[in-house]
Amino acid sequence: MKIAILPGDGIGTEITEQAVKVLKALGETFEMESAPVGGAGYEASGHPLPEATLKLAKEADAILFGAVGDWKYDKLERSLRPEQAILGLRKHLGLFANFRPAILYPELAGASTLKPEVVSGLDILIVRELTGDIYFGQPRGMREAPDGPFKGAREGFDTMRYAEPEIRRIAHVAFQAAQKRGKRLTSVDKANVLETFQFWKEIVTEIHAEYPDVELDHMYVDNAAMQLVRAPKKFDVIVTGNMFGDILSDAAAMLTGSIGMLPSASLDANNKGLYEPSHGSAPDIAGKGIANPLATILSAAMMLRYSLNKEEQANRIEAAVKKVLAQGLRTADIYEQGTTKVGTTEMGDAVVKAL
């Protein structure tokens, strides 16, 4: 089995290194090959998603991704900026199903900005559609407004669109995920305003008939943003479109206060996937050896489970991470008085030891 390792920028290199170390320590034989992506791809060959990197990603059975982005690329034109790599990978590989768990580890309950009773034991899963919506909808661009109250003025425009098969497949993924958990699914839309999400709501409702054991409810996106703050534990699985999912999954992640702990998976129709931490490239602390590698290590566990069919090994990694937390080891981002502060490498070593 071949794993593409795409470290990217900022802390990306340090954190993927630890995840690779953990994968190697499992005693399995994985073929692993690295390639530059994001700012590193641009430096190497003038494009954030170099052709060779895309080729490797296509050949591999799974992709472990670090993070991309750095202020030094802010002045590049948009098509050359690091985040285009991640958009390009999603699109080219058809990674339409994004799993973003927001889990609060009991040991880290203090890290949240929310009151302990509101978030303790939080365990929600956001299923975000990742290859459609206004992220990719054509037409888009700059033009003279062709009509409307500002006809003739310069305007920017984008197209939100979802086709029936796109909604169906993400709905199936979400219902099946709910079946394996608390059997409750909340579909988030803005059906009271948007045609796209009126249609979304209809199709999700239709597909519900195939999953009678799952309880489905519908919620407007503004209300969902409120309920995440008010009573996040009421959610089990949330399914939504690409744009709303971008916003809600980050809000949900931040509820835990420990975004350095949260992995993510982006899957295609055959469970091939890209795995990455939910946090960014944190250029401010890059190279200092203090970044938290656990989200990336937990992303590797998700990879074993979803793409490589190694549930047992995934469980081993997750248990090892729980163990190092129980031992009181903490990187700077989750450090609290009374715990032991460790660096990136030490944390990776501790997970290997705990395996």
Ligand X SMILES: CC(C)[C@H](C(=O)O)[C@@H](O)C(=O)O
Specify whether the CB–CB gap between 289 and 14 falls below 8 A.
Answer: yes
**Contact (Cβ atoms closer than 8 angstroms) between residue 50 and residue 23:** no
Active site residue 250: yes
The reply to whether 192 sits near ligand X by the rule CB under 6 A is yes
Q: 297 near 24, Cβ under 8 Å?
A: no
Annotation-wise, does 222 bind a ligand? yes
Retrieve residue 310's tokens: 């190694």
| Choices 3-11, 42-50, 79-87, 267-275 (CB under 6 A): range interacting with ligand X | 79-87
Q: Which amino acid is at 30?
A: F
Task: Please indicate whether residue 349 is annotated as part of the active site.
Answer: no
Q: Please list every residue from 220 through 249 that binds ligand X, using CB under 6 A.
A: 222, 246
Give yes or no: 217 in active site. no
340: β partners: 329
Rounded to a whole number of angstroms, the minimum distance from the CB of residue 87 to ligand X is: 6
Residue 180 touches which member of a copy of itself, ligand X, none, C-beta under 5-8 Å by kind: none
Identify whether 222 is a catalytic site residue.
yes
Residue 213 annotated in active site:
no
> In angstroms, rounded to a whole number, what is the distance separating the alpha carbons of residues 291 and 312?
27
- Encoded one letter per residue, x for contact with ligand X by CB under 6 A and - for no contact, window 262-301 reads ----------------------------------------
- Torsion region of 133: left, alpha or beta (phi above 0 gives left; psi -120 to 50 gives alpha): left
Q: What would the two tokens of residue 233 be?
A: 């534990």
How far apart are the C-alpha atoms of 138 and 156, rounded to whole Å?
13
| Under rule CB under 8 A, residue 250 binds a copy of itself | yes
| 253 forms part of the interface with a copy of itself (CB under 8 A) | yes
Distance CA 31, CA 318 (A): 22
Q: Residue 117 corresponds to which tokens in the numbers above? A: 């009773």
Summarize as ranges the residues that interact with a copy of itself (CB under 8 A): 78, 81, 83, 87, 113-115, 118, 134-135, 137-138, 140-142, 145, 147-148, 150, 153-166, 190, 192-200, 221-223, 225-226, 228-231, 243-244, 246-251, 253-255, 257, 259
Positions at the binding site for Mg(2+): 222, 246, 250
The catalytic site residues sit at: 135, 190, 222, 246, 250
